[in-house]
Structure 1
């Protein structure tokens, strides 16, 4: 069954990752080893057909192997390592409304494990789930079927997820007045305002939580404190801009919210192992070599 899913992904994935004509479906296919990659994951679930992926957020790390799925419940800056390639996966971006409606229909809102179980969870796929995901991807073979069938198959996938070992986590998704929902909203706020000074007291008050409670629940969900979460967002964006050659390191440091260039350089080197300029040059070289089909150790 995984072979069918991998073949469908291979037929339609353009580049390492590509959106598709099926709403909320992203395909990923990587044939050769790549550098560990920093990404900002949104709430989604990754269905792995081949290869092995490790996703690390702060102090927490999850591995997804062939036939497994990786659920991300919160906006999360992660470092992705592909431990085995070729790697192929189908990714579903969550539709809050569709999931909430399914939970309401089943009468299962707010009955699961709290978000403190972790912002990322991996689990095996059932045969029924593999079949549903495969049929969802195969809609790309017959584009005329996408509009009448995509939503129906997506609903089936959500139903089968709720009946899987991930069900307890997904049942906490509905917008209720819970620590789960408040932490998710805090993460979204920080993502939207990461360049601004962060006041834990102000955010905790807005979330109707104590600063200590916010810190505890946020770290349980993301693997890091709110301040470290913000720092990861800043450094990820700074690295992206440096590799693109948008501006100098000092200009980029200021753009992502650093007041001190010295602090930026220190935190960047601590996170990525090299000063900003050297790291960006190394990554640009790797990118050029990968595009020309040449591989070597930089």
Structure 2
């Protein structure tokens, strides 16, 4: 049994279980493909163990499969879809929400590197045997929960060290730094998420990031694959969808609540992102939740 087979067996046994002391680690499993769905992805590291997933970020489409990792460095809107899964070979993935303090502890032991050009806020790579082994040892704590208080953080440091030796190193350094270009962009991203329903200008956002408008726009798009105003639109529409599903609200009131002045424009943009008009989409999701 190779390392991927061993970690798959662990993931199947513990999928969907939350362990105290490892709240940022989650295991996802599915026995069937899924519809394309939208979310804002927090900074995290992901390893896909089995199956295939498609991610749409901005105007870019990525498909990745067994043994591949994805690292997300900022709160990026992602459309995700499981495209290959079955009861015999379920989709399996492990997610770890990143802690900048843990990354910084690892960075302090590594030699400094000059700051590079603005990195994208996401990247994919194939995991080597050492990185897979680090994921396996961290996941193995689920078999020994009594050891989690002592060993889990140590093993997370090992995983971050292995990721720092991968193509994701510079991105991780920027997550850890409180004064990196990425941290300035994330400051503006957080402001947009907090004030998504307001009429924001690129000038205001750039000022929050401490950059000129042209530099801010270029760096923001390098991180998110979206312009600042497109990012705001995604946040608005995802909040609108949440309200439509959880409150059974009408499109007109929701569109106003998330910052649209035109219900027809809201409906057009909602359908473009989610594939169905607001009320129909909400009904489909509510039916899926009810049957699940």
Q: Same fold judged by TM-score > 0.5?
A: yes
1:103 corresponds in structure 2 to 107
- 1:210-289 paired onto structure 2 within 5 Å: 210-289=212-291
SS in 1 for 2:151: helix
2:38 corresponds in structure 1 to 38
Q: Tell me, yes or no, if the aligned pair for 1:58 and 1:223 is still in contact at 8 Å.
A: yes
Query: What CA RMSD, in Å, does the superposition of the two structures yield over aligned residues?
Result: 1.8
CA deviation string 1:195-223 (max 9, x = no partner): 22212111211212111111111111111
Give the Cα separation in 2 of the matches to 1:19 and 1:193. 32
Give the Cα separation in 1 of the matches to 2:34 and 2:176. 37
Q: TM-score, normalised by structure 1?
A: 0.89
1:295 corresponds in structure 2 to none
Give the Cα separation in 1 of the matches to 2:53 and 2:116. 25
1:164 corresponds in structure 2 to 166
Give the Cα separation in 1 of the matches to 2:93 and 2:275. 30
Q: Tell me, yes or no, if the aligned pair for 2:103 and 2:173 is still in contact at 8 Å.
A: no
2:188 corresponds in structure 1 to 186
Give the Cα separation in 1 of the matches to 2:288 and 2:178. 46
Q: Tell me, yes or no, if the aligned pair for 1:111 and 1:172 is still in contact at 8 Å.
A: no
The structure-2 alpha-carbon separation of the partners of 1:122 and 1:246, relative to structure 1 and needing over 3 Å to count, comes to: same
Q: TM-score, normalised by structure 2?
A: 0.91
The structure-2 alpha-carbon separation of the partners of 1:175 and 1:168, relative to structure 1 and needing over 3 Å to count, comes to: closer
Q: Tell me, yes or no, if the aligned pair for 1:69 and 1:123 is still in contact at 8 Å.
A: yes
Once the two structures are overlaid, the 10-residue window that deviates more, 55-64 or 150-159, is: 55-64
The structure-2 alpha-carbon separation of the partners of 1:111 and 1:197, relative to structure 1 and needing over 3 Å to count, comes to: same
SS in 1 for 2:174: coil
Unaligned runs of 5+ in 1: 292-298
1:165 to partner: Cα distance: 2.1
1:146 to partner: Cα distance: 0.4
CA deviation string 1:114-156 (max 9, x = no partner): 4x43211000111111111111112111110100000100000
2:176 corresponds in structure 1 to 174
2:127 corresponds in structure 1 to 125
Q: Tell me, yes or no, if the aligned pair for 2:77 and 2:234 is still in contact at 8 Å.
A: yes
Give the Cα separation in 1 of the matches to 2:208 and 2:235. 21
Once the two structures are overlaid, the 10-residue window that deviates more, 277-286 or 42-51, is: 277-286
1:83 corresponds in structure 2 to 83
Number of residue pairs the alignment of both structures matches:
285
Unaligned runs of 5+ in 2: none
Q: Tell me, yes or no, if the aligned pair for 2:37 and 2:274 is still in contact at 8 Å.
A: no
